[in-house]
Chains A and B, each alone.
Chain A
Amino acid sequence: MAGIASRRSMMQYAAVARMRMQMLAHSARTGRGKFDIVAQIATWSTYLFLGTLFAAGFAMGAFHILYGGHLGYFSLLIWGALLMWQFTPIMAISFREEYDLSGLARYPLGFGAYYILFIFFGFFDLSTIFGLASLLGIAIGVSLARPALLPIGLLALAIFAAFNILLNRAIFAWLSRWLARRRSREILGVFFFIVVVAAELMNPALHEFHLRLPANLLALLKILIPFDALFPPGLVSGGMLAVTHGHLLRAALSLAGLAAWTILPGATLAARLRAQYRGENLSEAPARKPEAAPAKGTNRPSRFDVTGPVAAVMVKEARYLMRSYQLLYGLVAPLILMLVFTGTPRHHHTGALVAPEHLLLPLAVLYAFLGLTRLIFNSLGSEGTGLQFYFASPAPFWKIMLGKNLFHMILLAIEIVVLWVIAVLRAGLPSAETMAITLCAMTFIVPANFLAANLVSLHVPYRMNLTRIQRSQGATANNLVSLLAQLVVGGVSAIAYFVAYARGGPWLAAIILLAMGVVASLAYWLVLRGLGTRARRRIEPLLSDLARTAS
């Protein structure tokens, strides 16, 4: 770690920061870039607002605990902050816009400077914002309730923040390394399916546990409390508790223990980054086997071998999907959500999360769309330099998009059917009326969404790296527009449904939705046929955003 504050390292930090600022400034040169910045501002404003709410909540919690003299419970608050810090990336699927440091490896950057830069880029992350906001709130609560505890509190919280940042970065770095291999992603995929099945099987047991939750929780806490003092949250509160009792040595020991905990993720991260710094290959290459020469006459066409651009694109999309854990996760996530929202099986209605039965089918459609948003609304994002081929090939561009759309529609249909079967098994068959209206609504929602998705894919695309857990430049703008489009389509169909329902009952609503579906399908077809002209006009920005020099 020597030299992290040397003159050369400082120059290098400044150069990287300046480079990032210049890139940000240049991204505003185009309308697309300006829009992306606006989307980023909107997103970060939301994060900051949520962070402020978290800070206020934690400040009130800390104030209440300390002012009431219940310092023994302070550790629970710190545990809350820790869990939020480490689990926010998972809950929010926060694959951040991660700057790839490997591009700097060819410069004379010391390992210490490389490490510092890796940590630095972790600051611009949802979990770090929420985590720091919660710790700030706790510090405010401490300063208001027990000002005398503020010095020790600030010191302990600062070390605790360092622990969390290092832990978060270490988890990210190791996970990223692990998931860089296709085999690991396949293991993760299997793990997800096992989790889904296990959740289903465990439901009756959880139901029993749920009934006796208060007693179970207390029993669990009684077992865990003696060990609390050994973990970072317990050490933070232990240090503060020791100061209130005048045991300065014990407080110092708690802080030393906290510092020792901080070294652990720091060292784990260092081990990972050292390998990265020395140079490693994160590609699929390790999975590659030496190729055997094909015997003559054995070159039979594969089962998926099809001709025609539409079919060829569909096969290519299927192969991409099977090789991307991120996209597969998008398919599995709605299934998990459906299990959560449908609560326990039909005869065990207990959970507050249980959705009304007549809404289960519309919810299935909604979840399925959400799961496939990245695929449908950024359908060119994973092409990379292969995008150029589409423009160089003799196939009309609209047929390429049609191939993608058809494949995504098939996926959507499968996803909806599976979700609906889960819903039916758990909550019973919805009425014929609900089924008819939902199907009629789908005749509008599907083509309208695909119409919007094709335009968004052409005008607000972003480059997806299917082998790395990272968010890409431009993803925020695309996500925002996709969400807006889905809200508009969903809102229009809802308004039409409610107005028609109020005027003439459910069957009029079904007919109106069907009529809207016909119009939407026609509009979809007309826009699809015009995509070639639109794409030719946008070749340069598309190649620049999706296929050219990495930024």
Chain B
Amino acid sequence: MNSPAISAQNVTRRFGDFVAVDQVTFDVAPGQFFGFLGPNGAGKSTTIKMLTGLLAPSSGNVHVLGEDMSRNPVAIKQQIGVVPEGMALFGRLTAAEYLRFVARMYGLDRQTTRQRTEELLEFMHLANEPKKLVTDFSHGMQKKLALAAAVIHAPRVLFLDEPFEGVDAVAAVTLKNMLQGMIARGATIFLTSHVLEIVERLCSHVAIISKGRLVANGSLEELRHGVASRLPGTQGDEKLTLEQIFLNVVGGNSADEAQELSWLA
């Protein structure tokens, strides 16, 4: 059996007394499109930061492509692409300059850098304004640029923190096609998103984190089956949506709470 592309074993991150991520353990198999879900403040971004070497775990181990993140972060970073929370772009560069910078950081040669930069800018529809600075891009354009930068070195594992936030429908379809193409060619994608429909459509496996703890992990079918067996009045063959699964697992609901806000029009 292949070793997992991403492996988190008992990963914990504390900030003083506050435990942001608590003993999280999961594996992501090579070639999997893995969705990582959770309510706001559940620990998604902290987890993704630890998986990509941007934050050291307080305890536990992270392995990516068989390498230990604490021992060999450079080798891992060479093979992964990241669209972090907030994107962390360099605002006062043009898109092409930014992509060339990223390519050189990954050690791509001049010819490959030029070729991939042009292709990515065309693909992401960012080539029309070569002199515009990144800081002047719309949010959606910045997202597309961040994604282009994350894939320019053809990573084997891609980590995406809310990649579709603020992206228009046309661009979203383009991006989804690109990501599915990467999966078809054997890449692994780890995705967090609040848009459950997108996760349901793209991901084969899903993990859910709530209050720092992993509360569900498995294929979509496994999660459906697990939740359906617990829900009273649910038929075994009834297909639950990811939203129903999510709400059931994290325990959020809330018609009752909404009704309390009686002053709302």
Interface residues of A (CB under 8 A from B): 7-8, 11-12, 14-16, 18-19, 22-23, 26-27, 29, 103-111, 275, 278-281, 285-290, 544, 548-551
Contacts and interface: CB of A to CB of B under 8 A. Distances in A.
A103 B91 CA distance: 12
B55 interface: yes
Interface of B: 15-18, 20, 49-50, 52-56, 70, 73-75, 77-78, 82, 84, 87-94, 97, 101-102, 104-107, 133-136, 142
A550 B101 contact: no
A15 B135 contact: no
7 contacts: A12-B105, A23-B93, A26-B93, A106-B53, A109-B77, A549-B91, A551-B135
Listed residue (B20, B49, B53, B74) with the most chain A CB atoms within 10 angstroms of its CB: B74
A23 B49 CA distance: 27
B150 to A, nearest CB: 9
A15 B73 contact: no
Given A279-B49, A551-B91, A109 B133 contact: no
Given A14-B104, A19-B90, 5 more contacts: A107-B102, A109-B77, A285-B18, A289-B17, A550-B91
A405 to B, nearest CB: 29
A27 B20 CA distance: 39
A495 to B, nearest CB: 42
A288 B75 CA distance: 34
Contact of A544 (B56, B89, B135): B135
Nearest to A113: B74
B18 A290 contact: yes
Contact of B106 (A7, A29, A107, A549): A107
Contact of B73 (A278, A280, A288): A278
A19 B101 CA distance: 6
Contacts of B107: 7-8, 11-12, 108
Contacts of B91: 544, 548-551
Contacts of B88: 103, 106, 550
Contacts of B133: 26, 29
Contact of B54 (A26, A110, A111, A279): A279
A280 B55 contact: yes
A106 B54 contact: yes
Contact of B135 (A7, A279, A549): A549
A290 B16 CA distance: 10
B105 A285 contact: no
B97 A281 contact: no
B53 to A, nearest CB: 6
A279 B50 contact: yes
B17 A19 contact: no
Contacts of B18: 285-286, 288-290
Given A15-B101, A19-B101, A289-B16, A544 B90 contact: no
Contacts of A7: 107
B142 A549 contact: yes
Contacts of B104: 11-12, 14-15, 18
Contacts of B56: 275, 278-280
B93 to A, nearest CB: 6
